[in-house]
Amino acid sequence: MGMIESTLSRPMAIAATAIARPAYAVPGFSLSLGAVGRFLSKPATLIGVLVLAPMVILALVAPVLPLPDANAPDVRSALQPPSMSHFFGTDKLGRDIFARVLMGARVSLLIGFSVAAIAVVVGMALGMLSATLGRGVDSAVMAVVDLLLSFPSLLLAIGFVAVFGAGVVQVIVAIALADIPRAIRLQRSLALGIRGRSYMDAARLFSAPTWWLICRHLLPNTIASMLVVGSTYAANAILAEAALSFLGLGITPPTPSWGNIISDGRRYLQDGWWICTFPGVAIVLAAVSLHLLADGFRHSLDPRAEA
């Protein structure tokens, strides 16, 4: 079980584990080649990789693929069902849904990975400082964390874009705002747990400076758990982007994102079920595989976890 439990009551800890599901990895095991092998040896993780990798590659190469222009209207082929010429059909304006889903993947995956990266980096930095720099810094950081956590996350994001407008950068910040406090909290409790380990005492005996403690001990021993939650943040960010864009507050047309393609298609539910269906399937596949990766990280980085 993870270190977070040392700061929480047992039922709270069980709940926290299940919410952040996959449970937190045990700190103390860092990345290694053996970990990579263990990572891919689990069938569920392999499925996650096999689903996510092609999506990422397709998103990256989408602009050079021989596909119809995702934004070029073609009225003659409006609202066509899926066929060999249009794999996922076309929308009201005759735009190719397959091309739009691929181009949308670029935006949606970019947002997912950016949010995860920002939340993990900022969370690790502030969580570490909070745990090492003493009571004053700690209570200031935790006060802001508690404040941010007192807003329901989607409403925090909605409020943010209501003020700062729609757009990729705004959406990334809006979603990250809800994940950063969670990441800080986790990093802080992991770091506090490690602080009492004997190797930390040993390092302090040799009067190792704080930066040494952070770089040599805290960072390597907590990064595994942060990778686990980072994957779930990415999955949740993809869902949050879709929700914001669906409401018309996230990524606005003509730039396609999975959320706004669905939003676009909801008016043609009866005449074109395929417009909404395929981007939704893409969201589910991406989110499920990210959760499987998180599970894989947890198992591979913690050899003690059950198979």
Question: Binding mask 238-267 vs another protein (x if CB under 8 A, - otherwise)?
Answer: -x--xx--xxxx------------x---x-
Please give the residues from 120 up to 139 whose contact with another protein meets the rule CB under 8 A: none
Among the residue ranges 9-17, 58-66, 70-78, 117-125, the one whose residues contact another protein (CB under 8 A): 9-17
Number of Cβ within a 10 Å radius of residue 298: 25
What residues between 143 and 172 interact with another protein by CB under 8 A?
A: 143, 146-147, 150-155, 158-159, 162-165
Q: Is 141 in the site for another protein (CB under 8 A)?
A: no
Binding mask 15-54 for another protein (x = CB under 8 A): x-xxx-x---------------------------------
Residue 142 or 203: the one with the smaller Cβ distance to another protein is 142
Stretch that binds another protein, among 104-112, 129-137, 208-216, 269-277 (CB under 8 A): 269-277
Q: What count of other Cβ atoms lies within 10 Å of the Cβ of residue 46? A: 14
- CB-count exposure of residue 201 (10 Å: 0-12, 13-18, 19+): exposed
Scanning the structure block, which residue is given the tokens 């939003």? 263
Q: Which is nearer to another protein, 69 or 146 (CB)?
A: 146
Stretch that binds another protein, among 109-117, 130-138, 141-149, 217-225 (CB under 8 A): 141-149
Q: Select the residue interacting with another protein from 128, 141, 276, 301 (CB under 8 A).
A: 276
Number of residues located near another protein, criterion CB under 8 A: 46
* One residue of 36, 50, 202, 284 binding another protein per CB under 8 A: 284
Task: Tell me how far, at minimum, the Cβ of 181 lies from another protein, in Å.
Answer: 12
Site track 203-242 with another protein (rule: CB under 8 A), x = hit? --------------------------------x---x--x
The contact set with another protein (CB under 8 A) reads 9, 11-12, 14-15, 17-19, 21, 143, 146-147, 150-155, 158-159, 162-165, 235, 239, 242-243, 246-249, 262, 266, 269-270, 273, 276-277, 280, 283-284, 287-288, 291-292
